[in-house]
Chains A and B, each alone.
Chain A
Amino acid sequence: MRAIFSIDDTEYSVFATREGEAYRVHIDDRSILIGNDHGAVVATDGDTIHIWLDGETRTIRYHDPIAYYVSHGDSAAEDTILAPMPGTVIAINAKPGDAIARGDTLLVIESMKLETAVKAPRDGVVEAVHVAVGQSFDRSAPLVVLAKEPLKAEA
């Protein structure tokens, strides 16, 4: 079974086989032989793998195969508004049940001493607001969830 890894938005489909003392890692349509002398430094934190190699650093996510295929069955990601950068919530203009239009300001966040308005990416209804005024959050933290778009009835 192939495992899915990602760096930012790029996904890699991976499996490995043993090759003597080393491993052959198959990534998409090519393969790389990795021995014990790979020279990288790795630190893992749950499903997040931080890696340093030759002066470059990347954060790689391992996607549990079952969770990955389940989540890709619907469009959950597009319904959740993620924090563009770490910061603090200054104001909240939306509550669950509110009907909102694309471009409406849902909340105002402060980061680097600058205020930024977080706007609705589409028309819809607010399902949940995951933060409170004064709360700090990390980048990519879920801020607001919109109710799933109802399927449009065929005319």
Chain B
Amino acid sequence: MTAPLREITAASWPFDTVLIANRGEIALRILKTVEALGLKAAVVYHAIDADTPAVRAAHRRIEITGATPVAAYLDGAQIIAAAQQIGAGAIHPGYGFLSENAGFARAVAAAGLRFVGPSAEAIELMGDKVRARAFVQQHGFPVAPSAIEDDDPASFLERARAVGFPLLIKPSAGGGGKGMRIVRAASALAEEIVRARSEGQRYFGDGRLYVERYVENPRHIEVQVLGDAHGNVVHLFERECSVQRRFQKIIEETPSPALSAEERARICETAAGIARAAGYRNAGTVEFIHGAGAFYFLEMNTRLQVEHPVTEMVTGIDLVREQLRVAAGEPLGFAQADIVSQGHAIECRIYAESPARGFTPTTGRALMIRGGEAAGTRLDIGITQGQAITTAFDPMLAKLIVHGKDREEARARALAALREFVLLGCETNIAFLRRLIAHPAFRDGDVHTGFVDAHPEIAADAIPDSTLQRMVAIAALAVRPVREAADTIPHPHQQMGGWRN
């Protein structure tokens, strides 16, 4: 299924060691591909991660320090120095941390190393939401009707009203949903602008705003793109990531159950067109809001995404391998027509959190981890048995990815894999994910970004009293005093049967 590639032999790579500037599951996932290509993998790590699988598996490991563990992974100068110290020729930033930091990408290049990602200019363009949106619009691609305050502050209110309702007010400097307000009626607009400006000022020290048309119950659909340094850009189809909580994705799948073949071709072509217009190099993702028969550009993420495995499952293309080949200056080894999507893939993000307590993070120790080995199942996990789970980092522990010949088979495999997956010692969202995938609306593909909030019964962690009692009974027998007492109490059956221990 993999498209024909001009293979690079280990001797012809322009670097022989790749430094992975990340942690957890993604560090291990990148490491596997680096090694499969005959290259050496080095990992930087904070002491708190010393016993994690990626650090243990690395050919070279370099400790980094910081005021907090997160600060260590954000310390670009220290990471570049580590790469130079061990002679790494390339740095893969993974996702999060420094992956979308243009200054870091520039510093890596200035140090004579290769940044496994796009150019600093592309990161800068797409990192500025207002600029990115204007760029996409100028090139004739669809963006939600909008009004940007900076264009002409005096007429902002008037232009905002002309966008139509409902609309969304966003801080220009914003991100992560902070300071966003939905306005449903023209009469409330002026007042909401005042409040949004005050929030933007408070959160980001910048009160500038823009408004855009709000799509009710929207779907989040994104497209994987890949470009090389020779001007070639392809797409690797879409992923639907509508099931979210607190603006974070929980379940991703491909193909999207919402798109017709015609819509799918259009949205994927649009994404590739945007990447082409930006002269985009390496792996990226163009995100769209989809609803009421239309789709609008939302933003572009200039890195490998958490949910990239579903794309790998249906296309058979290893995205990290392509990232490394592109970083090595190779042209893409395939054309658009060579990329075929087969079957259906679903990813479930396993988080250390309590769905029943408003998805608050949980802590503990991974006393037992078991599962993820069934046919058509891939487990990307960065923790190991015995490891402490703290709030030092994002609560994502693992990703369970399944593939099936169609959506129903993938869904059945996801349900089975979640049912069989055991993680003891820290509360997780595994049972919640199972209830979500079993829900009739999810089964019918009828989801939107507000789906989890609209169905609080999925988060409520209710199990029958009979199951709870059975759990207590089994747990009681694991306690020595209870078992010893049982073994010494004479019981009618024991006496009758002359039973001996």
- Residues in A lying within 8 Å of B, measured CB to CB: 1, 3, 5, 7, 10, 12, 14-20, 23-25, 27, 30, 32, 34, 38, 40-45, 49-60, 62, 85-88, 111-112, 136, 138-139
**What are 26 A-B residue pairs whose CB atoms fall within 8 Å in the complex?**
A3-B476, A3-B482, A18-B489, A18-B493, A19-B494, A20-B493, A25-B473, A27-B473, A32-B469, A38-B470, A40-B474, A42-B424, A42-B475, A45-B425, A50-B367, A51-B474, A53-B467, A56-B431, A57-B430, A62-B479, A85-B361, A86-B391, A87-B391, A111-B361, A111-B391, A112-B360
Which A residues are in CB contact (< 8 Å) with B131?
none
Interface 1/0 per residue, B410-434 and A, CB below 8 Å: 0000000011101111011011001
Cβ contact within 8 Å between B475 and A51: yes
Closest Cβ–Cβ distance, residue A52 to chain B (whole Å): 5
From B391, B470, B482, A14 is in contact (CB under 8 Å) with B482
Q: Determine the distance from Cα of A56 to Cα of B470 in the docked complex, in whole angstroms.
A: 12
For residue B154, CB closer than 8 A to chain A, the reply is no
Which B residues are in CB contact (< 8 Å) with A38?
470, 474
Cβ contact within 8 Å between B467 and A54: yes
In this complex, which of A1, A10, A53, A111 has the most chain B Cβ atoms within 10 angstroms of its Cβ? Answer: A53
Which B residues are in CB contact (< 8 Å) with A45?
365, 367, 425
For residue B101, CB closer than 8 A to chain A, the reply is no
Q: Determine the distance from Cα of A44 to Cα of B368 in the docked complex, in whole angstroms.
A: 10
Ranked 4 nearest A-B pairs via Cβ: A25-B473, A55-B419, A43-B367, A16-B486
- Besides A7-B468, A51-B474, 7 other CB < 8 A contacts? A1-B485, A10-B468, A18-B486, A55-B418, A56-B471, A57-B427, A86-B361
- Residues in B lying within 8 Å of A, measured CB to CB: 246, 357, 360-365, 367-368, 370, 390-392, 418-420, 422-425, 427-428, 430-431, 434, 463, 467-479, 481-483, 485-487, 489, 491, 493-494, 497, 499
Q: Determine the distance from Cα of A56 to Cα of B422 in the docked complex, in whole angstroms.
A: 9
Cβ contact within 8 Å between A51 and B424: yes
Cβ contact within 8 Å between B486 and A41: no
Which A residues are in CB contact (< 8 Å) with B472?
5, 7, 12, 14, 25, 27, 60
Cβ contact within 8 Å between A52 and B367: no
